[in-house]
Chains A and B, each alone.
Chain A
Amino acid sequence: MALLKLERISAQYPGAAEPVLADISLSLGPRQLLVALGPSGSGKTSLLNLIAGFVAPSAGEISLDGVAVKGPSAERGVVFQDDALLPWQDVLTNVAFGLQLAGVPRAQREAKAREMLALVDLAGFDQRQIWQLSGGQKQRVGLARALAADPRLLLMDEPFGALDAFTREQMQELLLQVWQRTAKPVFLITHDIEEAVFLATDLILLAPHPGHIAERLQLDFGRRYAAGESARAIKSDPRFIDTREHVLASVFSQRGVSREQHA
């Protein structure tokens, strides 16, 4: 049973000569963690914005459980790269924000928010101000906020791109734990190859001019981590390294092609 379906999606900004995305079809269902990997200009942010409903496709159809996607909605939660939290509210109020918008009574929404903070290892951070948090903590709050609203699926826009390498690895592991425990389908975009290979159950490689899916891979490294294997063991597994090198080569060959086309 597919939950999210994109059928022959194209997108073009007004006045642009070339579409940013052409003929994209994909589906995302339960227990899947779909990662879109691509260099800048490959349209991965546009793809996420389309699914979130921030922009409309110029052709094709996006549907969630058979219902056409029209504009943003609480059923598609989004975690942004940065700056998306409300600095005039404390951590608890930020996490409870979606429930507050939905009119959930205070006691109930704060209980739910505390539960989500515990899920992202931030129990006890209720009263902290946003500007007192580190980059990694902010992203945890962003994740907790998106989850508290209980969306059907989770969209993540380069969520760890602004973090240092150490924090990024911690956050990847946290995401896999949360994904395992909440069973929410996740759509994540990144330009970090190792991150993509480690997290994805389904990996799509996007190539530019115009943005299209160059390759699809089915992977199981994230599932192996979720099943209890250590991250270091997985990342030093020859199969992991082979896959990473294959993806790396693929990304570079795509770049080479696009450069030739431009020359």
Chain B
Amino acid sequence: MNSYELTHDNAPRAKAPAVQRRWSLSTRAISVLTMLVILGAWWLVTAQALIEPLFLPPPSAVLEKAWLLMTKGYMDSTLWQHLGASLQRIGLALLFAVLTAIPVGIAIGHNRIARGIFDPLIEFYRPIPPLAYLPLIVIWCGIGEFSKVLLIYLAIFAPIAIATATGVRTVDQTKLRAAQSLGATRWQLIRHVILPSALPDILTGVRIGLGVGWSTLVAAELIAATSGLGFMVQSAAQFLVTDVVVLGILVIAVIAFAMEMGLRALQRRLVPWHGQSH
């Protein structure tokens, strides 16, 4: 053992535990604690009857309602059916968006002509809040499922296409040249170098797209639907069934959170090299 190790052993270790103990709460623990405090405050103000249940029902009432909704249903459908309707819409929209936006994004990033065609189109409609063109979609395509899926599809398409194009444009020149000097054709370059290089960006695009798509979907269901989580919340609000409203909002939030976490996990799994080293 040399002198460097000795000093390292004695001096810092004596101090370290004290510092460690003061900051021993992990960030995640702080987050959980915050949620618990909010839940506690909710319970407290309702249990003390400081707020009328019409405005804020107690947590217990919301839980009871949740059970009731899961077993008996609200507005002819159970919570599962509303949830299923919403998830089916966003699932279909996401599927079509991934299938079309990634090729379009690659074309934009890779090809001057494709960039000239798609760039203005996407940049034109992307900043418009989807609900602003929902009326036009309803006029053109009616009020059925197709309109809602189309609306969310459009909302998801732009972020994925733009992120893919960015990923394609920032592919490392050296990797492209390396593949070319190993005999790669144009298609092989896309398949083996460009697509994997852009994958982290594509997944980020999907994350952003899903976030936008989910909020668009719920908003669209508030306006024009006969099923779905948004519809459930809206119709409950009309009859001042506040516990269903609160429950619906919580479910919407939990689904959004789950999608975000799921995609982050997918990102860690699919692109473990990302951010490792260069």
Residues of chain A whose beta carbon lies under 8 Å from any beta carbon of chain B: 52-54, 71-74, 76-78, 80, 82-88, 97-98, 100-102, 129-131, 145-146, 149, 155
Contact = CB atoms under 8 A, between A and B. Distances in A.
B183 A80 contact: no
Contacts of A52: 177, 181
Contacts of B278: 82-83
Interface in B229-278: 271-273, 276-278
B273 A78 contact: no
B123 interface: no
A102 B273 contact: no
Given A86-B192, A101-B192, A131 B182 contact: no
Contacts of A100: 192
B182 A84 contact: no
A83 B174 CA distance: 7
B193 interface: yes
B38 to A, nearest CB: 40
A100 B196 CA distance: 16
Given A83-B174, A97-B192, A131 B276 contact: yes
A97 B182 contact: yes
Nearest to B199: A88
B276 A77 contact: no
A74 B179 CA distance: 9
Contacts, number: 74
A97 B179 contact: yes
Contacts of A129: 272-273
Interface string B158-200: 0000000000000010110111111111001000110010010
17 contacts: A54-B177, A74-B183, A76-B181, A80-B174, A82-B278, A84-B178, A86-B192, A86-B196, A87-B273, A87-B276, A87-B277, A88-B273, A97-B179, A97-B182, A145-B178, A145-B182, A146-B182
Nearest to A87: B273
Contacts of A76: 181
Given A80-B177, A129-B273, A74 B193 contact: no
A83 B60 CA distance: 58
Interface of B: 172, 174-175, 177-185, 188, 192-193, 196, 199, 271-273, 276-278
Contacts of B185: 101
Given A83-B278, A84-B175, A145-B182, 11 more contacts: A52-B181, A74-B181, A76-B181, A77-B182, A82-B174, A82-B278, A86-B175, A86-B193, A97-B182, A129-B272, A149-B183
A88 B271 contact: yes
A72 B276 contact: no
A84 B174 contact: yes
B183 A78 contact: no
A73 B184 contact: no
Nearest to A148: B182
Contacts of B180: 54, 71-72
A17 to B, nearest CB: 24
Contact of B181 (A78, A83, A87): A78
Contact of A98 (B174, B175, B183, B271): B183
A98 B175 CA distance: 13
A53 B177 CA distance: 10
The 7 closest A-B pairs by CB, nearest first: A74-B183, A98-B182, A87-B273, A131-B276, A72-B180, A84-B178, A78-B181
A193 to B, nearest CB: 25
Contacts of A54: 177, 180-181
B191 to A, nearest CB: 10
Contacts of B277: 87, 131
A80 B178 CA distance: 8
A86 B184 CA distance: 14
Nearest to B184: A101
Given A86-B196, A88-B271, A78 B188 contact: no
Given A83-B172, A87-B276, A131-B277, A101 B183 contact: yes
A88 B179 CA distance: 14
Nearest to B270: A88
Nearest to B178: A84
A86 B197 CA distance: 9
A105 to B, nearest CB: 16
B275 to A, nearest CB: 9
B273 A131 contact: yes
Contacts of A71: 180
A49 to B, nearest CB: 8
Nearest to B185: A101
Nearest to B200: A88
A107 B196 CA distance: 23
A145 B178 CA distance: 10
Contacts of A149: 182-183
Nearest to B191: A101
A83 B184 contact: no
Contacts of B177: 52, 54, 72, 78, 80, 84
Contacts of A88: 196, 199, 271, 273
